[in-house]
């Protein structure tokens, strides 16, 4: 298709057509104007993989490690390659626009979407975001950097007002976006749900227009987060081009009224429409037809790329006595709640249906010789998904979903569809069937369960709608009356209602879930958007006693040469829609880890979480690895690091505090009657811990290796072009090939205001063979490296002063120091 003549199209559009273009038409697509050749373009989540257009039974996709895992690579070239793979995945899904990456700040360990973001440090987040954006846009697909700005918690995320100083807003929260805008030029931005200093971001003209467009020169499209447009006239005047999803909730007919009232001028609408038409032209070369079929690119090359990123994301936090890597010819016990579960992603819109998902146990079993298993401790928040436990009548894992337009009480009801689903966690917001014309419909989910042992089982049901669960014809859970609102299904669902039943080993039981769509529920929801169709989640597991499982794990640990514990969180604990309540591991995990480590001195813990967890046993466990949520290749990447096939080279992109009470946002991390005070100001993460000299469990930038490195011979060149060139020699002094990250921090000697002790301003990762030495070069932009935001001048200020370059391998280990000066104070704005 030839590019649109934007001016000609604008001239020929009538007002109603222009207004139609200001909103999507459904969950993923923009409005086409056929008579003028304006096509519909497709968007798709998200930050760690491209789902496509379906939450329900979608086309499988490549799942990348979570955002913190990606940032832990500290490897911009690797992430740029990852972005290219994301772009190819988008094209396969018929999508022109990826809704990612996420570059929000991690103010606290408890953030529900912390796993989705990159870092507590704005420079690292910006550099990683720019790399992903560059890779995506190399393929012709548009990247949407999000959530602009201060969407750093989930509690009351649409209502809360982030009260933040202008200095902190600039130096911490806007900076990742500013860096990405400077270095990668994203084609789209997504506004955050929340207010910033009194104004919702979708209405925030000061930030969307004055800063983003005028000061930074952004000329792309700004869209809302889904259901995050709250006004018609104010959002259009502020610079929000596109309300998503569609059909419009606040634009449409209201915008036509606003034009008549002269709250909005047609020329302003033209400016908004122009940005959409220009974006259509920018993605036109993809030649993706409207409503393109979705396909996969599941292949060896994709798997190898995901495995490489996964292994590079692992951070070796501790390795006393060189317990790691394990020896393949010795026996291994794999213990822990995450061992036989593939925790490949966090929850919410970042989640997707993966091509496949390798559990840690599966990956270890392939590479090990004598591999045994024990649960050790349960780790679920909601009872585990039954998808892999239940089978359909024809033997497939999962359930058969039968759709009806009448309730189960009508014996002659008509079945209108039948679908195989491989999960018992089902969201039907995007399910469509031409025979279902009402918001009322019903689904029977059917399968069989054959227990391996005679035990009491627990079953749980959470639902947006209504649901009953029958096992072997017996009603076990009824979640249809007296429902209680919970945090399932983005806050529109119930709490999990739990029932129990005794099941016999070897006996096959019929499993039946009778589900009614969201319209069948009488539950009154507050603070949540109830999605059409609703959803149901059924979980189940054998009932366990905590001490019994610990005893079994300890017994096994004593019988083997080596023990690896796979513990942590999951998509149930870290998810869009709610924040964590504390930093602790679930259930009896801490007690189990301490007991197992005491039983076998060759114990390593691999921790799966997107954000920090408490580790009260850290001093008594010899080896700890932060493994994040690893995407499709989770289990293989764990095994590669465990047995030394890959040398861990990741570094922490955020500080791990000893306790949640130690973190700088502790007193202010939630919405209080709609207000969240960013009281820590610019002292986020390591900036705070170093300023107040508070000990952490593991510091920002920390990460060991199976080899050792030496840095020396620091040189700094202060060029007249405004660049600082930092050079340092790095040598691999160990016996294995590995990678070191040279981290460059800057400190001002005598600032006129309080500033952090030092701040990350550059880094570079280098791979070295044993005995090999290379010169590493890191270039800094001098004005970015020295400036703070001067609220009085409303500008960046680079003060005349002496500055130090501090180089090392973490925020607490910067032994190399060199100086440079700024001769004259200057002020600047823009990029």
Convert the pLDDT of each residue in 178-209 to its tens digit.
999 999 999 999 999 999 999 999 999 999 99
Question: What pLDDT score does 1 carry?
Answer: 66
Question: Which SS3 state, helix, strand or coil, does residue 827 take?
Answer: strand
Tell me, yes or no, if 225 is annotated catalytic.
Answer: yes
Residues 684 and 686: their CA atoms lie apart, in Å, by 6
Portion of the chain with pLDDT greater than 70, in percent: 100
pLDDT exceeds 90 at position 739: yes
User: 76-92 vs 300-313: helix axis angle to the nearest 10?
Assistant: 140
Which of 167, 196, 268, 305 minimizes the C-alpha distance to 632? 305
Average pLDDT of span 120-148 = 98
pLDDT exceeds 80 at position 530: no
Average pLDDT of span 757-773 = 98
Average pLDDT of span 650-655 = 98
Mean pLDDT of the chain: 97
From residue 42, alpha-carbon distances to 5, 239, 320 in Å are: 21, 21, 51
H helices of 139-265, in order, are: 166-168, 175-183, 205, 233-238, 253-260
Convert the pLDDT of each residue in 266-302 to its tens digit.
999 999 999 999 999 999 999 999 999 999 999 999 9
Query: 761 and 803 in contact (C-beta within 8 Å)?
Result: no
| β-pairing verdict for 801-808 and 738-748 | antiparallel
| β-pairing verdict for 466-471 and 474-479 | antiparallel
Q: Which two tokens stand for residue 764?
A: 């570079």
pLDDT exceeds 80 at position 768: yes
Average pLDDT of span 489-518 = 96
Q: Which residues contact 753 (CB under 8 A, 6 or more apart)?
A: 788
Convert the pLDDT of each residue in 9-31 to its tens digit.
999 999 999 999 999 999 999 99
Question: What pLDDT score does 658 carry?
Answer: 98
Annotated catalytic residue within 225, 234, 241, 790? 225
Q: Which residues contact 75 (CB under 8 A, 6 or more apart)?
A: 312, 765
pLDDT exceeds 90 at position 643: yes
* Helices and strands in the chain, H and E counts: 18, 35
Question: What pLDDT score does 490 carry?
Answer: 87
Q: Can you tell me which residue has the tokens 């031409």?
A: 434
Average pLDDT of span 640-651 = 98
Question: What pLDDT score does 339 carry?
Answer: 98
pLDDT exceeds 90 at position 719: no
Average pLDDT of span 609-635 = 98
Average pLDDT of span 336-358 = 94
Ordered structural domains, the chain, with CATH: 6-286 (3.20.20.300), 335-380+546-691 (3.40.50.1700), 382-542 (2.60.120.260), 709-828 (2.60.40.10)
Convert the pLDDT of each residue in 207-245 to its tens digit.
999 999 999 999 999 999 999 999 999 999 999 999 999
Q: Which two tokens stand for residue 474?
A: 């017996």
Average pLDDT of span 578-592 = 97
pLDDT exceeds 90 at position 528: no
Average pLDDT of span 257-268 = 98
Question: Which SS3 state, helix, strand or coil, does residue 589 take?
Answer: helix
Query: 242 and 23 in contact (C-beta within 8 Å)?
Result: yes
Convert the pLDDT of each residue in 351-397 to its tens digit.
999 999 999 999 999 999 999 999 999 999 999 999 889 999 999 99
Task: State CA 110 to chain mean position distance.
Answer: 13
On the 0-12 / 13-18 / 19+ scale of CB atoms within 10 A, 782 is: buried
> Is the full-model pTM beyond 0.85?
yes
Q: Which two tokens stand for residue 494?
A: 């119930």
pLDDT exceeds 80 at position 255: yes
């Amino acid at each position: 298709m030839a590019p649109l003549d934007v001016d000609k199209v604008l001239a020929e559009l009538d007002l109603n057509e222009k207004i139609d273009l200001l909103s999507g038409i459904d969950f993923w697509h923009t409005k086409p104007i056929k008579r003028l050749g304006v096509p519909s373009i497709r968007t798709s989540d998200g930050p760690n993989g491209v789902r496509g257009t379906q939450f329900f039974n979608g086309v499988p996709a490549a799942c990348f490690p979570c955002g913190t895992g990606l940032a832990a690579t500290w490897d911009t070239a690797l992430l740029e390659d990852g972005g290219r793979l994301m772009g190819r995945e988008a094209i396969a899904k018929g999508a022109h626009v990826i809704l990612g990456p996420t570059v929000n700040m991690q103010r606290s360990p408890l953030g529900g979407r912390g796993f989705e973001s990159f870092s507590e440090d704005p420079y690292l987040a910006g550099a990683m975001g720019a790399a992903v954006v560059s890779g995506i846009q190399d393929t012709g697909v548009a990247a949407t950097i999000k959530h602009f700005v201060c969407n750093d918690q989930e509690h009351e995320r649409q209502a809360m007002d982030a009260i933040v100083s202008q200095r902190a807003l600039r130096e911490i929260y806007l900076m990742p976006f500013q860096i990405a805008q400077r270095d990668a030029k994203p084609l789209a931005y997504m506004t955050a749900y929340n207010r910033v200093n009194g104004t919702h971001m979708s209405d925030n003209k000061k930030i969307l227009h004055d800063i983003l467009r005028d000061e930074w020169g952004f000329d792309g499209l700004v869209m809302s987060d889904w259901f995050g447009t709250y006004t018609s006239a104010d959002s259009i005047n502020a610079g929000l081009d596109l309300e998503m999803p569609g059909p419009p909730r606040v634009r449409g007919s209201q915008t036509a009224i606003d034009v008549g009232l002269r709250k909005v001028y047609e020329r302003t609408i033209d400016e908004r429409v122009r940005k959409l038409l220009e974006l259509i032209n920018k993605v036109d070369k993809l030649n993706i037809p409207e409503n393109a079929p979705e396909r996969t690119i599941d292949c060896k090359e994709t798997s190898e790329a995901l495995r490489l990123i996964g292994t590079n994301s692992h951070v070796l936090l501790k390795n006393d006595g060189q317990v790691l890597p394990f020896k393949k010819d010795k026996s291994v016990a794999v213990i822990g709640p995450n061992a036989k579960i593939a925790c490949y992603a966090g929850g919410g819109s970042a989640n997707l249906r993966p091509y496949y998902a390798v559990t840690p146990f599966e990956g270890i079993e392939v590479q090990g010789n004598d591999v045994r298993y024990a649960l050790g401790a349960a780790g679920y928040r909601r009872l585990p998904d039954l998808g892999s436990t239940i089978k359909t009548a024809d033997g497939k894992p999962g359930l058969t979903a039968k759709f009806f337009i009448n309730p189960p009480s009508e014996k002659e009801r008509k079945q209108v569809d039948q679908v195989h689903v491989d999960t018992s966690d089902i969201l039907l917001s995007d399910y469509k069937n031409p025979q279902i014309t009402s918001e009322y419909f019903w689904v029977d989910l059917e399968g069989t369960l054959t227990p391996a042992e005679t035990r009491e089982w627990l079953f749980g049901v959470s639902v947006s709608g209504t649901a009953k669960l029958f096992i072997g014809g017996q009603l076990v859970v009824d979640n249809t009356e007296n429902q209680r609102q919970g945090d399932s299904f983005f806050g529109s669902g119930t709490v999990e209602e739990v029932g129990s039943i005794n099941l016999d080993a070897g006996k096959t039981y019929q499993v039946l879930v009778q589900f009614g769509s969201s319209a069948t529920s009488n539950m009154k929801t507050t603070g949540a958007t109830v999605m059409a169709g609703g959803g149901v989640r059924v979980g189940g597991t054998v009932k366990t006693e905590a001490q019994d499982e610990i005893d079994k794990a300890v017994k096994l640990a004593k019988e083997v040469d080596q023990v690896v514990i796979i513990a942590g969180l999951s998509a149930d604990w870290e998810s869009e829609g709610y924040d964590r309540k504390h930093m602790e591991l679930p259930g009896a995990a801490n007690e189990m880890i301490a007991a197992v480590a005491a039983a076998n001195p060759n114990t390593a813990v691999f921790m799966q979480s997107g954000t920090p967890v408490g580790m009260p046993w850290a001093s008594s466990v010899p080896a700890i690895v932060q493994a994040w949520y690893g995407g499709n290749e989770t289990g293989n990447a764990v095994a590669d690091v465990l047995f030394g096939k890959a040398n861990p080279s990741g570094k922490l992109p955020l500080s791990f505090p000893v306790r949640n009470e130690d973190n700088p946002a502790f007193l202010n991390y939630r919405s209080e009657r709609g207000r969240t005070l960013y009281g820590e100001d610019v002292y986020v993460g390591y900036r705070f811990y170093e300023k107040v000299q508070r000990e952490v469990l593991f510091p920002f930038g920390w990460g060991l290796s199976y080899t050792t490195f030496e840095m020396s011979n620091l040189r700094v060149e202060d060029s007249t072009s405004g660049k600082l060139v930092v050079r340092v020699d790095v040598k691999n002094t160990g016996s294995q090939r590995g990678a070191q990250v040279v981290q460059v921090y800057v400190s001002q000697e005598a600032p006129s205001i309080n500033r952090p002790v030092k701040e990350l301003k550059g880094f570079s990762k280098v791979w070295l063979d044993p005995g090999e030495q290379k010169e590493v070069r890191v270039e800094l932009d001098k004005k970015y490296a020295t400036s703070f935001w001067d609220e009085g001048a409303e500008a960046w200020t680079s003060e005349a002063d002496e500055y130090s370059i501090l180089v090392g391998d973490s925020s607490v280990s910067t032994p190399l120091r060199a100086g440079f000066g700024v001769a004259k104070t200057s002020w600047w704005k823009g990029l």
